[in-house]
Amino acid sequence: MVTAPQPVQLTEMRDTLRRRWRVVAAAAGVGLLLGAAVSLAVPSRYEATSTVSVNPISADPVGSSIDSARSISMPTEAGIVTSAEVAQAAAKALKPRYAISAKDISDAIDVQSPDDSLILSIRFTGDSAGQAAAAADAVAEAYLLTRRDDAAAEVERLRTAAQEQLAAVQASADLPENAGVLRQRAFGVQADALGNKLAELGNIDPTPGRIVGSAQPPNDSSTPGAVTLGLAGLLLGLLAGIPFALLKKDQQSSEIGGADGLQSLGEQIVLDGTKDINRADTWDIAAFMLKIPADLGIEDPFLIMVDAEDDPGRALTPGQELVDALSRRGRSARFVDAGAINEGKISRGWPTEKKRVSWAGEIVIIDTTRLSSDANKVALATRSDSVVLARSTTDDAEALNRLTGLLKSKGVDIALTALFPERSELVTLHR
């Protein structure tokens, strides 16, 4: 019968971490060093922002009926800021102080525009505080220069077209066939309109906007510093070290190894039978060491709980071996396999008073080796007069530590722990 795994107790986790604090400390230290190393390897980056107020310029500058607030698309203006033309102009302006390519400038720009506003926030991320501020302003100025040149070119195109149209009207008016009064009046109306258009074009200001907030060199970098990354590495080291420490299996936690291993688990009386050729000899000494009353009387039984790690290859259970050892000393004992008892009955209070009365005057060995629940083992221990543990040098020390901790939490004293050779030797001895 395979024993079901028991849930880990919080006290066990605390004790494990206390024993293996060096593992946790080492992991935290490695994380701290890695965080500091990353801070040195990752270059510092700085952010600066230049703010531009945009003046709307419509496609038809003469159209005075167009609402100026609706004559410009801010997403389009943001696209112009990040265009290759603006990046090249900014790189040229920065060249005397900072050698930055147009592509690097395009990659380092981020443009935001608040809703329902004509404001562009141009943020530049650079290698130094001075470079970030200078580049943000250079991009803003390059954007304004590009937009001003485009607006001036558009006004010049419209002026040239109007002048050509006016010249054509005047030429037509001078032709003899157009000397009539009605024709001359029509030509005059066209000439006046074109003259007004030229006058309005001459009064247009092609300025697309202005910088309302120059970029200021930032005091701190936008990338995490050595302290921040070091603390982050320390935290990650702790998060990795704690589970590793809880799951790590060392020699002492994976097997008992010897009498010293049991003593380190807090056992007070250990019978070391690892050198005994015959396992029965060890049990004979155990039966002698147990403090069993010579006269049991007729009212109550004397209950001894025996627990061991299950070994399917062994013919006799540890409880039966103790019964045989008591028999060799002239004491009769009753063997009870707790694994054959319904665990629900044990948790509800078995052995009942009626059962104890039926055992009155007897030595009763209750073997919990094949009992799957540690809680039920502890319950039986609290109802027994003596507790005996049988372990081999290859048994799981963690499981034993958990069980002994539960027993101590209920005030149960372990009368004796008998230590036997590893199971491969037992197979050899039984052949």
| Terminal-residue alpha carbon distance, the chain | 23
Phi, psi of 213 (to 5 degrees): -150, 100
Whether residue 12 is contained in a domain is answered as no
More confident residue, 394 or 306: 306
Report whether pLDDT(67) > 60.
no
Indicate if 178 and 277 belong to the same structural domain: no
More confident residue, 81 or 45: 81
Q: pLDDT category, 11, cuts 50, 70, 90? A: low
Whether residue 218 is contained in a domain is answered as no
- Which residue's entry shows tokens 């665990």? 343
Length of the chain: 431
Separation between Cα atoms, residue 431 and residue 410, nearest integer Å: 41
Mean pLDDT of 355-365: 93
| Per-residue model confidence (pLDDT) at position 222 | 67
Burial per residue of 117-145, b for 16 or more beta-carbon CB atoms within 10 angstroms, e otherwise: ebebbbbbbbbebebbbbbbbbbbbbbbe
Indicate if 288 and 364 belong to the same structural domain: yes
Separation between Cα atoms, residue 420 and residue 431, nearest integer Å: 17
Q: Given 213, 233, 262, which residue is the final one in a domain? A: 213
Indicate if 410 and 322 belong to the same structural domain: yes
- For residue 143, give the CATH number of its domain: 3.30.1890
Question: Is the Cα dihedral 111, 115, 120, 121 positive or negative?
Answer: negative
| Per-residue model confidence (pLDDT) at position 66 | 41
Does the N-terminal peptide bond of residue 351 adopt cis geometry, omega within 30 degrees of 0? yes
> Is residue 242 within a helix (H) or strand (E), and if so which, with residue range?
helix 226-247
Sequence-distant (≥ 6) Cβ neighbours of residue 351 within 8 angstroms? 303, 359, 366, 383
Whether residue 15 is contained in a domain is answered as no
Of 19-28, 295-304, 378-387, the poorest mean pLDDT is in 19-28
Of 249-263, 324-338, 359-373, the poorest mean pLDDT is in 249-263
Report whether pLDDT(33) > 70.
yes
| Per-residue model confidence (pLDDT) at position 57 | 60
| Helix/strand/coil for 182 | helix
| Per-residue model confidence (pLDDT) at position 41 | 66
Whether residue 5 is contained in a domain is answered as no
Indicate if 34 and 73 belong to the same structural domain: no
Separation between Cα atoms, residue 232 and residue 37, nearest integer Å: 12
| Per-residue model confidence (pLDDT) at position 12 | 61
Whether residue 72 is contained in a domain is answered as yes
- Which residue's entry shows tokens 């607030």? 69
Tell me the pTM: 0.46
CB 112 within 8 A of CB 22: no
Whether residue 10 is contained in a domain is answered as no
More confident residue, 116 or 120: 120
Separation between Cα atoms, residue 49 and residue 121, nearest integer Å: 6
| Helix/strand/coil for 129 | helix
| Per-residue model confidence (pLDDT) at position 416 | 92
Indicate if 163 and 192 belong to the same structural domain: yes
Whether residue 219 is contained in a domain is answered as no
Q: What domain range includes position 25?
A: 21-42+225-247
| Per-residue model confidence (pLDDT) at position 71 | 63
| Per-residue model confidence (pLDDT) at position 430 | 43
Mean pLDDT of 300-312: 90
- Give the residue from 421, 384, 415, 413 showing the smallest Cα distance to 281: 421
155-203 pLDDT, tens digit each: 788 888 888 888 887 888 788 887 778 877 887 888 788 788 878 777 7
Indicate if 260 and 379 belong to the same structural domain: yes
Indicate if 242 and 309 belong to the same structural domain: no
| Per-residue model confidence (pLDDT) at position 170 | 82
- Token readout for 54 is 């945009």
CB 45 within 8 A of CB 107: no
Q: pLDDT category, 8, cuts 50, 70, 90? A: low
98-108 pLDDT, tens digit each: 888 889 888 88
Report whether pLDDT(59) > 60.
no
Indicate if 231 and 305 belong to the same structural domain: no
Mean pLDDT of 209-230: 77
Indicate if 197 and 231 belong to the same structural domain: no
Indicate if 297 and 366 belong to the same structural domain: yes
| Helix/strand/coil for 152 | helix
| Per-residue model confidence (pLDDT) at position 352 | 92
Report whether pLDDT(266) > 90.
no
Of 74-78, 152-156, 254-258, 418-422, the poorest mean pLDDT is in 254-258
With a pLDDT cut of 90, the percent of the chain lying above it is 28
| Per-residue model confidence (pLDDT) at position 171 | 82
Indicate if 315 and 395 belong to the same structural domain: yes
Whether residue 404 is contained in a domain is answered as yes
Report whether pLDDT(48) > 80.
yes
Report whether pLDDT(420) > 70.
yes
- For residue 257, give the CATH number of its domain: 3.40.50.300
CB 308 within 8 A of CB 368: no
More confident residue, 180 or 138: 138
Indicate if 132 and 189 belong to the same structural domain: yes
Mean pLDDT of 341-357: 92
The beta-strand segments (E) located in 309-372 are 333-337, 363-367
> Is residue 28 within a helix (H) or strand (E), and if so which, with residue range?
helix 21-41
Type of residue at 58: S
pLDDT averaged over every residue in the chain: 82
Domain count, the chain: 3
